[in-house]
Amino acid sequence: MQPDPNLYDYWPYKDRPRIVWPGGKKLAFWIAPNIEFYEFDPPTNPLRPSWPKPTPDVVGYSQRDWGNRVGHWRLMELLDRRGLRGSVSLNVAMCDHCPEIIDACKVRGWEFFSHGIYNTRFSYGMTEAQERAVIEDSIRTVESATGQRIRGYLAPALTHTERTLDLIAEYDFWYTCDLFQDDQPQPVKTRSGKLISMPYSLEVNDVIAYGVLAMDPWAYADVLKRHFDQLLEEGEDSGTVMCIPLHAYLVSQPHRIRAFEDAIAHITSHKDDVWFATGAEIAGHFRDHSWDSTLADISRRGLLRPGTGFGGGAA
């Protein structure tokens, strides 16, 4: 174990090289519905119980299933109305369990990225071979179901090992959603590949907002609008990224979804200044246009530290 992950260099927000999004836009906005499957009775990982309550947690299981049976369709219709494409944080076993959802997203041109196999299978304690198997399964499963080669990763239930980011970089992933250190992308220090940290946000994630922070539907809508307004203002100087990570089992609840749509309407009313993109589109643009200038700026400021994450990924 190491006290400092060394996955990225310290890079102060002030006076960075300017990011300009396509069309001269100031803010790249993306929306990430988590489409998840929580197993009823999963095998237990020694480091974390599968469910917060004793298994089976029928309320928890059935509420998450409600997200797929009911909530997903409400959220997808909302995004259709607002002309937004989702970037799906996908437990890839959903391709097997609920193919109707995958097909509906595919038809709409949504992007898929991997959120592991199930949200009840954690990475803690995996060998390198096991972790490779999960990544290869993710690539293969989504490609087979949708034709898409996934480029993004959010570790299942945010469970990592020291080698997770090295491995996805090696498999030519473009972005990780697992790091929360910034409102702009940044190169991740991996052994190989060209991986960026993508702003994803736990702060405006619906699980945190409605759950941990106990926000009511209208308070969450206000938070989203203010978050957006601030990042748009800062995007005048250098392009920012805003992501809204969502879970249909929460945001599509009947008392919440219209207040949420009100916030989305505010955001989509700023079409002149905002690039409505997917995760891979933002990552691709950054890799092509800002990767080199970012590294040069970090180096110029004398902030480049040697090595890569976790001392090269040894675990």
Partner 1 sequence: MTLDESYLAYPRRQRGQDIERYDWSPMEGRAAAKLAGDVKLAVSIVVPIEYFPLTPSGKPFRHPGAMVTPYPDLRHYTTRDYGNRVGAFRLLKAFAEAGVKATFAVNAILLDRSRPLIDAILADGHEIAAHGLSTDHIHHGGLTEAEERAYTDKTRAAFEAAGLRPRTWMSPARQESTRTPDLVRAAGFDICLDWEFDVAPVGLRTSCGPLVAFPLLSELDDRTLLTIKNHDESRWRDQIIEAAKYMRDEAATRGAECLSFTMTPYVAGQPFRMWAVKEILAALGAIDGASVVPVATHVDNFSTGNPQQ
Q: Kindly tell me the burial class for residue 14, based on how many C-beta atoms sit within 10 Å of its own C-beta (0-12, 13-18, 19 or more).
A: exposed
Using the contact rule CB under 8 A, the part of the chain among 7-15, 49-57, 173-181, 221-229 near partner 1 is: 49-57
Does residue 303 interact with partner 1 by CB under 8 A? no
Does residue 106 interact with partner 1 by CB under 8 A? no
Interacting residue with partner 1 among 3, 12, 23, 54 (CB under 8 A): 54
Does residue 56 interact with partner 1 by CB under 8 A? yes
Nearest distance from C-beta of residue 125 to partner 1, angstroms:
4
Interacting residue with partner 1 among 9, 49, 57, 297 (CB under 8 A): 57
Interacting residue with partner 1 among 2, 13, 22, 47 (CB under 8 A): 47
Please say which residue, 17 or 125, places its beta carbon nearer to partner 1. 125
Interacting residue with partner 1 among 34, 68, 197, 201 (CB under 8 A): 68
Nearest distance from C-beta of residue 242 to partner 1, angstroms:
25
Does residue 24 interact with partner 1 by CB under 8 A? no
Does residue 1 interact with partner 1 by CB under 8 A? no
- Residue 286 CA, chain-centre distance (Å), reads 16
Q: What are phi and psi of 76, to 5 degrees?
A: -65, -40
From the list 90, 89, 83, 91, the residue with the least C-alpha distance to 109 is 83
Nearest distance from C-beta of residue 141 to partner 1, angstroms:
10
Sequential DSSP letters for the chain: --S---SS----STTPPPP-BGGGBSEEEEEEEEE----SSPPPBTTB-SSSSSSP-HHHHHHHHHIIIIIHHHHHHHHHHTT--BEEEE-TTHHHH-HHHHHHHHHTT-EEEE--S-TT---TT--HHHHHHHHHHHHHHHHHHHS----EE--GGG---TTHHHHHHHTT--EES---S-SS-EE---SSS--EE----STT-HIIIIIIS---HHHHHHHHHHHHHHHHHHTTTS-EEEEEEEEHHHHTSTTTHHHHHHHHHHHHT-TTTEEE--HHHHHHHHHHHTHHHHHHHHHHTT---SS-HHHHH--
Does residue 200 interact with partner 1 by CB under 8 A? no
CA distance 178 to 160: 9
Interacting residue with partner 1 among 20, 70, 295, 315 (CB under 8 A): 70
Does residue 53 interact with partner 1 by CB under 8 A? yes
Interacting residue with partner 1 among 82, 97, 270, 301 (CB under 8 A): 97
Does residue 65 interact with partner 1 by CB under 8 A? yes
Residue located via tokens 């993109």: 277
Interacting residue with partner 1 among 197, 205, 253, 290 (CB under 8 A): 253
Binding residues for partner 1, total number by CB under 8 A: 57
Nearest distance from C-beta of residue 151 to partner 1, angstroms:
23
Using the contact rule CB under 8 A, the part of the chain among 17-25, 57-65, 106-114, 276-284 near partner 1 is: 57-65
Using the contact rule CB under 8 A, the part of the chain among 47-55, 220-228, 266-274, 286-294 near partner 1 is: 47-55
Nearest distance from C-beta of residue 236 to partner 1, angstroms:
35
CA distance 140 to 207: 29
For partner 1, the binding residues (CB under 8 A) are 37, 39-41, 43, 45-47, 53-59, 61-63, 65-66, 68-70, 72-74, 93, 96-101, 104, 117-118, 121, 124-127, 130, 133-134, 210, 214, 216-218, 250, 253-259
